[in-house]
Amino acid sequence: MIKGLSEMRRLPRVGKIRLGVKNKNEQGAVYPTAVDYFVFEEKGLPKEITKKIKELYGEKPRELIIRFFSNDLEQIFPQYLKYYKSGQLFCKGDGEKARRRKDSGELEEIRCPYKDCPYYQQKLCRPIAHLKFYLEGIPGGFFQIDTSSINTIININTKIEQLKMIYGNIVNVPLRLNLIPIQVQVKGNKDSKSFNKTTYIMDINEIQENTIEKQNKNTNTSITNVIADEDFIENDMPEEFSEDKEEIPEGFEVIEDGEDPFTKEEQKEMLMLNKFGKIQIKGKDYVIATFMDSQNKTYNFIIPNKEIFKGLNEIKKSGKTPIIYDYRTEDFNGYKSLIEYKVLTL
C-alpha cells in the first residue's frame, strides 16, 4: 500500500442535470429559459442510461429520488465564489482566501474580499454550488446539478444540516429532490416599477419509510478521499441556467442579495492603486500614481490635484486599496493626468 495514494478513490460522474432549456428568439440568438422540471444533459450519456432515466422518472421529471454518498458537504455540495474567464476557472474564493490563475497559468493564493471585490461587483464573480448525488435506480456514479441561486444554496444547506441533526449520518438516506416555486422581487430601472416573479429553487426532503430499515442501510458507506473532478483541474464551467434570469423584461433584474452598485452601463475598466511616486516635469515636482488592471498591466497617472491625492492617500493609509473606475484623464506635458474618477476599496 502506498500512503497518500492507495487510499484515494475516484468517483465518476455519470451526467449533469440542468435547470433550464435553450431557446432562440426571432433574431436567432440563443438564450436560457428556466423550467419547472429537471433536464438531463444527454450529451455523453449512454443511450441505455437515458432510456432507464425516462422509464423511472419520465420525460419531464419534477421529482428525483437521490442518495448522498458522503457526509462531507465539500464532497456533496461544494460552494465557492467563482469567476470563469476565457472558458476556464480564473478565480475561486471562499470570502477570505482565493486562488487566482496568473498569466503564466500558475495559481496564486490571494485575499478574497467577497462583495468588496470589483469582479463580484461587476457580476463577473458569483456564488456557484454543485449538488452531487446518486440517482436512485441509475448505477455507475453520481449526477451533478450546478446552481448560482442564493435561495437554493441557503435552502439546500439548511435541509442537509437538518437531516444530519436527525440521523447523524445522511449517507444512503433516500431523499426526494424537487423544484419548488418561490416569489422573488424584481426591480426595474428608474422609469419602471418593481414587481414580483415566480421562480424555482431546489428542495430536498426525506422519504418516510421504516426507521430500522433506514438505519440498516445507512451504515459505513461514506466515501472518503475522493479526487476532485472539476474546478482548476477540469475547468468544468457551469452553463448559464440561473433560475433568476429568464423571462425578465428589459431593464429589470432580480433582487436576491441586494448589494450591487453597478448597472450594465457602469461596468467599465477598473484600476487598482499600486503606489505613489514623485516625478519632475520642467523643473517642478509632481505626484505620479501607478495603477494596475486585472492583467497586471500598469498605468501611470500624474496627480496635479491635491484633493485627488489626499482622497486616494487617505484610503491607502487606512490599510485599504483604492480601486478607480469611470475615470477621466487629460494630457499633461506628454503624460496622462487623472482628473476625475469613482472609487471602491479593497
Domain boundary among 224, 254, 284: 254
Whether 298 and 158 map to the same domain: the answer is: no
Identity at 115, one-letter amino acid code: K
Whether 179 and 327 map to the same domain: the answer is: no
Apex CA 42: angle with CA 37 and CA 240, to 5°?
A: 60
Q: What is the reported pTM?
A: 0.65
- Tell me whether residue 3 is in a domain: no
- Tell me whether residue 7 is in a domain: no
- Tell me whether residue 217 is in a domain: yes
Over 90: is that where the pLDDT of 247 sits? no
Domain boundary among 228, 254, 280: 254
The pLDDT confidence band at residue 173, using thresholds 50, 70 and 90, is very high
| Beta strands 13-24 and 79-85, pairing class | unpaired
CA dihedral sign, ordered 266, 272, 275, 278: negative
- Tell me whether residue 8 is in a domain: no
Whether 191 and 112 map to the same domain: the answer is: yes
Identity at 245, one-letter amino acid code: K
What's the CATH code of the domain at 297?
2.40.50.140
What local confidence, expressed as pLDDT, does residue 71 receive? 92
If we measure between CA atoms, which residue out of 149, 182, 143, 167 comes closest to residue 61? Answer: 143
Whether 277 and 210 map to the same domain: the answer is: no
The residue among 237 and 168 whose pLDDT is bigger is 168
Partnered with residue 202 across adjacent β-strands are: 179
Whether 176 and 310 map to the same domain: the answer is: no
- Tell me whether residue 167 is in a domain: yes
If we measure between CA atoms, which residue out of 178, 167, 177 comes closest to residue 222? Answer: 167
The residue among 213 and 328 whose pLDDT is bigger is 328
In the chain, the number of structural domains is: 2
- Tell me whether residue 1 is in a domain: no
Query: What value does the mean pLDDT take over residues 105-110?
Result: 88
Partnered with residue 290 across adjacent β-strands are: 275, 300
Length of the chain: 346
Residue 304, burial from CB neighbour count under 10 angstroms (0-12, 13-18, 19+): middle
The per-residue pLDDT for range 181-228, each reduced to its tens digit, is 887 777 665 556 677 777 888 999 988 654 434 444 444 455 555 554
The pLDDT confidence band at residue 167, using thresholds 50, 70 and 90, is confident
What local confidence, expressed as pLDDT, does residue 133 receive? 95
Domain boundary among 204, 229, 254: 254
Which grid cell is 252? 429589470
- Tell me whether residue 5 is in a domain: no
Whether 237 and 337 map to the same domain: the answer is: no
Over 90: is that where the pLDDT of 160 sits? yes
Whether 199 and 76 map to the same domain: the answer is: yes
The pLDDT confidence band at residue 304, using thresholds 50, 70 and 90, is confident
| Beta strands 97-101 and 107-111, pairing class | antiparallel
Q: What is the 3-class SS of 297-346, one letter each residue?
A: CEEEEEECCHHHHHHHHHHHHCCCCEEEEEEEEEEECCEEEEEEEEEEEC
What local confidence, expressed as pLDDT, does residue 207 receive? 86
If we measure between CA atoms, which residue out of 250, 258, 247, 259 comes closest to residue 200? Answer: 247
Over 80: is that where the pLDDT of 40 sits? yes
| Consecutive H or E run containing 214 | helix 211-217
What local confidence, expressed as pLDDT, does residue 241 receive? 37
Query: What value does the mean pLDDT take over residues 87-108?
Result: 89
Whether 116 and 226 map to the same domain: the answer is: yes
What local confidence, expressed as pLDDT, does residue 237 receive? 65
Over 70: is that where the pLDDT of 307 sits? yes
Residues 326-336 as b/e (b if ≥16 CB within 10 A, e otherwise) read ebeeeebeebe
What local confidence, expressed as pLDDT, does residue 67 receive? 95
- Whether residue 236 contacts residue 220, with contact meaning beta carbons closer than 8 Å, is answered with no
Over 70: is that where the pLDDT of 11 sits? yes
Return d(Cα 38, Cα 15) in angstroms, integer: 13
The whole domain housing 220 covers 13-254
pLDDT exceeding 70 applies to what percent of the chain? 76
* CA dist list (Å): 125 to 85, 98, 119, 121, 232: 10, 12, 5, 8, 15
Whether 27 and 166 map to the same domain: the answer is: yes
| Consecutive H or E run containing 105 | none
Partnered with residue 111 across adjacent β-strands are: 97
Residues 186-207 as b/e (b if ≥16 CB within 10 A, e otherwise) read beeeeeeeeeebebbbbbbebe
- Tell me whether residue 298 is in a domain: yes
Which grid cell is 218? 445507512
Over 90: is that where the pLDDT of 137 sits? yes
Top-ranked range on mean pLDDT: pick from 145-159, 184-198, 224-238: 145-159
Whether 220 and 274 map to the same domain: the answer is: no
The residue among 297 and 248 whose pLDDT is bigger is 297
Which 3 state secondary structure label does DSSP give 5?
coil
- List, as own/partner pairs, every contact residues 225-229 make where C-beta atoms lie below 8 angstroms and the sequence separation is at least 24, other chains included: 225/7, 225/8, 225/9, 226/8, 226/9, 226/10, 226/11, 226/70, 226/75, 227/8, 227/9, 227/10, 227/11, 229/10, 229/11, 229/12, 229/13
What local confidence, expressed as pLDDT, does residue 29 receive? 67
The pLDDT confidence band at residue 97, using thresholds 50, 70 and 90, is very high
The per-residue pLDDT for range 46-59, each reduced to its tens digit, is 899 999 999 999 99
If we measure between CA atoms, which residue out of 144, 151, 107, 150 comes closest to residue 126? Answer: 150
Whether 126 and 154 map to the same domain: the answer is: yes
Whether 294 and 248 map to the same domain: the answer is: no
